[in-house]
Amino acid sequence: MLAAELIDPMLPALKLTDTVGKALDWMQEHRIGQLVLTDQDEYKGLLDEDGLMDVSDDMLLLSNVMARHEQLFVFEHQHLYEVLQTALENRLGVIAVLSDNNDFMGTISVSELIKQFVRDLGILEPGAILILSIDERDYSLAEISRLVESNNVKIISCYFSSAAYGMPDKSRLTLKLNRRDITAVVSTLERFGYQIDAAFANEPIESVDQERLDLLLRYLNT
């Protein structure tokens, strides 16, 4: 999903001719702590509720208030992951979307962006979660997918977390599967030498080498 598709049409953009009081009213109405400031189609930055609350004159025009994050925005063609990275790294509540011509297109709500990210990962779908400890030199998603699917189970989504420098055996692969009962999947992966650090499921999982692997079992109401 691209940034242009993530724009929230309900979020207004403030203008230089708006007042501090109007900006605060809109923030309260939309229950959000930031809003984009624009001058016609030009993005001018973000205004924070905390900063505006310190302004004593509610009738002061926003042209007299200093905006922040003028250089923080995304372009319409950027992917959801890039948008989320920019927002989280800079602790933004909203993020502006610009066209390739640098014209302001609209605003993305970061809270809604995270919800979309969760939906795309399939986290809300019922099914088990497996966390594997993998040496990066041996990492092959194609092989792991083949082993999982050999048990008539599908991988809904996955996330690979690289190891810290000098610790190649500490990389983690998180798999979200479409089945709750994954006893057969665990057995297959263990048989082929994969170390399972944790398993989260609704059904009991019997590990073929549970003591050695110290498999963590939990039952979640997904």
138/110 same-domain check = no
Strands 155-161 and 216-219: unpaired
Please tell me whether residues 114 and 13 are part of one structural domain: yes
* Per-residue pLDDT at 47 exceeds 90: yes
Q: Do residues 115 and 130 both lie within one domain?
A: no
Last residue of some domain: 62, 85, 119?
Answer: 119
| Owning domain of residue 171 | 125-219
| pLDDT tens figures, 90-122 | 999 999 999 999 999 999 999 888 888 777 777
Model confidence at 166: pLDDT above 70: no
**Burial group, residue 83, by CB count within 10 angstroms (0-12, 13-18, 19+):** buried
The DSSP output letter for 18 is S
**Does residue 20 share a domain with residue 78?**
yes
Specify the number of domains making up the chain.
2
In terms of pLDDT, which residue wins out, 201 or 49? 49
**Range among 13-17, 112-116, 217-221 with highest mean pLDDT value:** 13-17
Which band of pLDDT confidence, cut at 50, 70 and 90, is reported for residue 168?
low
User: Does 78 share its domain with 157?
Assistant: no
Q: Are residues 174 and 198 in the same domain?
A: yes
Task: Give the residue from 72, 71, 65 showing the smallest Cα distance to 17.
Answer: 65
- Domain stop point among 69, 104, 119: 119
75 and 101 belong to one structural domain: yes
- Tell me: do 103 and 166 sit in the same domain: no
CATH of the domain at 171: 3.30.70.260
Residue type, 45: G
Q: Residue 10: pLDDT band by 50, 70, 90 thresholds?
A: very high
The per-residue pLDDT for 158 is 86
For residues 133 and 213, state if they share a domain. yes
35 and 100 share one domain: yes
Average pLDDT over residues 164-188: 81
Instruction: Identify the bridge partners of residue 95 per DSSP, sorted by sequence position.
Output: 108
* CB atoms near residue 169 (< 10 Å): 12
User: Domain holding 107: CATH number?
Assistant: 3.10.580.10
Among the candidates 77, 103, 119, a domain finishes at: 119
Residue 54 class from Cβ within 10 Å (0-12 exposed, 13-18 middle, 19+ buried)?
A: exposed
